[in-house]
Amino acid sequence: MKGLILIALSAIAAFAFQGVYTEIPKTWDIGAIEESHLPPPDPSVEVQYAPEEYYNSLPEHVIYKTYLRYAEGYQPEGYLDSLHSLEPEIVFDVNKIKTQQDWIEAGKEVFFWPVSGTAKVDPQYRGIENTYLVESGDPITAEGVYPFSRYLIQEKGKVLRGTLSCATCHTRVMSDGSTVIGAQGNTAFDPGFAVGIVEKFKVPKENLDPGMYSLISTPWAPEVKQRVTSRTRDEFVADLMASPNGVMVRQGVGFLPVSVPSLIGIKDIKYLDKTGLMIHEGPEDLMRYAALNQGMDMLTSYNGFIPLGTDEFTQLPTPNEWNHPFGYAGKRYSDEQLYALAQYIYSLTPPENPNIAAPELLAKGERIFIEQGCVTCHTPPIYTNNMLTPVDGFTPPESHFEKYDIFDISVETDTDLSLKARRGTGYYKIPSLRGVWYRQNFFHNGELATLEDIFDPARLKDDYVPTGYKLSTVTSKSVPGHDFGMELNDGDKSALISFLKSL
């Protein structure tokens, strides 16, 4: 009898299992996107996403096997020649996915798939290969590998260097040369981009438009437009060169760089992006986030301004002529690819923490964390209460209190990203402090290099030199706001920091 019940139970389990994994959410569901996407802080700006028919007419990515890239001096003898003799191999095949582990492994291929296969690695292109987006400050792993981009073969004999996979920006090389996938990335993205602007895109010296304009402009914030259009190429390049690893000018940021977040443990995180741009309650939301950020947000209309629109940024390009400046070439991920990607990201685990302080010091640090009220916002066990704080100059409308989780206190940090960028919402989310020990460049814009700098009162003064991101033309400036824990004496502060580094 007991055996029969067991058999019956396992039959139900198998059924449920298949039920869960065969129902792939639909990524481009406009109603669902509108529900989960926060509106811009300016209520007069109407946002419209590219229509479903448009999205569905885009060809899907075909995901091939990718190969490691070595730094000079580490590449095994004859490596590139051997790649030239390989047949292309498709590695994402939905028919082969049977178990949850299969979804995770397939998702890893998606995570590493470079949506932009640019410089060819054939001899005549090696000059470009060596300057564009490469040797501009990227750390290498203990094995001499650049883990941020990979070689790909879509046609036998043609080896491309691919970039702009999720792994490009979300992979970290640690100081011991190990690699942590999904951690805050530390590729020198902006300096590489600067080289690309000059060498690859060949942007004329006196002119940044229209590529940069579409990438970073905010039609409703004239000062951002001014910031973009009044800059010469070389001034822009100088600012990009000044971006530390782990901080970057992303599309839609209005030339206000953001620090790259960690994706490890993201399953528990309710709002995505510094500004809480999208609600995240399950894989379908992560899928929509990925689709938007790997191209579709450039086809979103903001009061008629479409960042990659034709006819002066007003019309959707026909699907076959759509080409992202970074080279997405008008493709999209399939729903299955995005579902697998979400399963992979949810499976990522943190590296082992090497700096756990003595138990007494940790206990003291934790006590201070509680006494100082940090727990209210950075609430254990995930060290965030998953809420949004309005920025100075933004008053949440009544309706937001029903729809979103708002902790109605401003932490008074710089407001530009949230008020003046396309990714803005009027809020900053309360970030999780899990894993701060393997992050750098803190606050949304990465202005403070270390945890210690956050609690240094000198940063509130105008003569402070930001230790993380600062514009090339800025010699000193204050880093205001979030003045919690700053009055502590040195002993208490270092106990608090030891505690933070243990999370």
Q: How far apart are CA 172 and CA 186, in angstroms?
A: 5
Q: How far apart are CA 112 and CA 148, in angstroms?
A: 9
Residue with smaller CB distance to ligand HEC, 50 or 454: 454
Closest contact distance (angstroms) between CB of 375 and ligand HEC is 8
Residue with smaller CB distance to ligand HEC, 75 or 502: 502
Residue with smaller CB distance to ligand HEC, 233 or 423: 423
Among candidates 175, 145, 172, 150, which has minimal Cα distance to 161?
A: 150
* Residue 341 vs residues 276, 344, 432: alpha-carbon distances, Å: 21, 5, 22
Q: How far apart are CA 394 and CA 405, in angstroms?
A: 16
Largest CA distance in the chain: 83
Q: Return all residues near 275 (Cβ < 8 A) that are at least 6 apart.
A: 38, 417, 418, 421, 423, 424, 425, 426, 427, 428, 429, 444
**Residue linked to tokens 């582990």:** 101
The torsion region of residue 373 among left (phi > 0), alpha (psi -120 to 50) and beta comes to left
Closest contact distance (angstroms) between CB of 243 and ligand HEC is 11
Residue with smaller CB distance to ligand HEC, 126 or 439: 439
Residue with smaller CB distance to ligand HEC, 68 or 264: 264
Side-chain-side CA neighbours of residue 435 (13 Å) = 21
Closest contact distance (angstroms) between CB of 402 and ligand HEC is 21
Closest contact distance (angstroms) between CB of 390 and ligand HEC is 10
Residue with smaller CB distance to ligand HEC, 140 or 253: 253
Closest contact distance (angstroms) between CB of 382 and ligand HEC is 11
Task: Kindly state the tokens that stand for 240.
Answer: 């990009």
Closest contact distance (angstroms) between CB of 444 and ligand HEC is 4
Closest contact distance (angstroms) between CB of 349 and ligand HEC is 16
Q: Return all residues near 282 (Cβ < 8 A) that are at least 6 apart.
A: 25
Closest contact distance (angstroms) between CB of 273 and ligand HEC is 4
With beta carbons less than 8 A apart as the criterion, state whether 143 and 66 touch.
no
Closest contact distance (angstroms) between CB of 442 and ligand HEC is 4
Residue with smaller CB distance to ligand HEC, 3 or 164: 164
With beta carbons less than 8 A apart as the criterion, state whether 257 and 446 touch.
yes
Give the interface with ligand HEC as residue ranges (CB under 6 A).
Answer: 164, 166, 168-170, 248, 250, 258, 260-261, 263, 266, 269, 272-274, 286, 289-290, 293-294, 341, 372-374, 376-378, 389, 409, 411, 413, 423, 428, 430-431, 433, 436, 439, 442-444, 451, 454, 482, 484-485, 496, 500
Among candidates 498, 488, 454, which has minimal Cα distance to 363?
A: 498
Closest contact distance (angstroms) between CB of 13 and ligand HEC is 30
Among candidates 494, 496, 491, which has minimal Cα distance to 372?
A: 496
Residue with smaller CB distance to ligand HEC, 25 or 144: 25
Residue with smaller CB distance to ligand HEC, 129 or 297: 297
Q: Return all residues near 194 (Cβ < 8 A) that are at least 6 apart.
A: 136, 236, 237, 240, 241
Peptide bond between residue 381 and the one before it cis (omega within 30 degrees of 0): yes
Closest contact distance (angstroms) between CB of 361 and ligand HEC is 15
Q: Return all residues near 306 (Cβ < 8 A) that are at least 6 apart.
A: 298, 299, 300, 313, 314, 315, 316
Residue with smaller CB distance to ligand HEC, 159 or 286: 286
Residue with smaller CB distance to ligand HEC, 12 or 460: 460
* Residue 162 vs residues 211, 291, 293, 317: alpha-carbon distances, Å: 21, 19, 18, 24
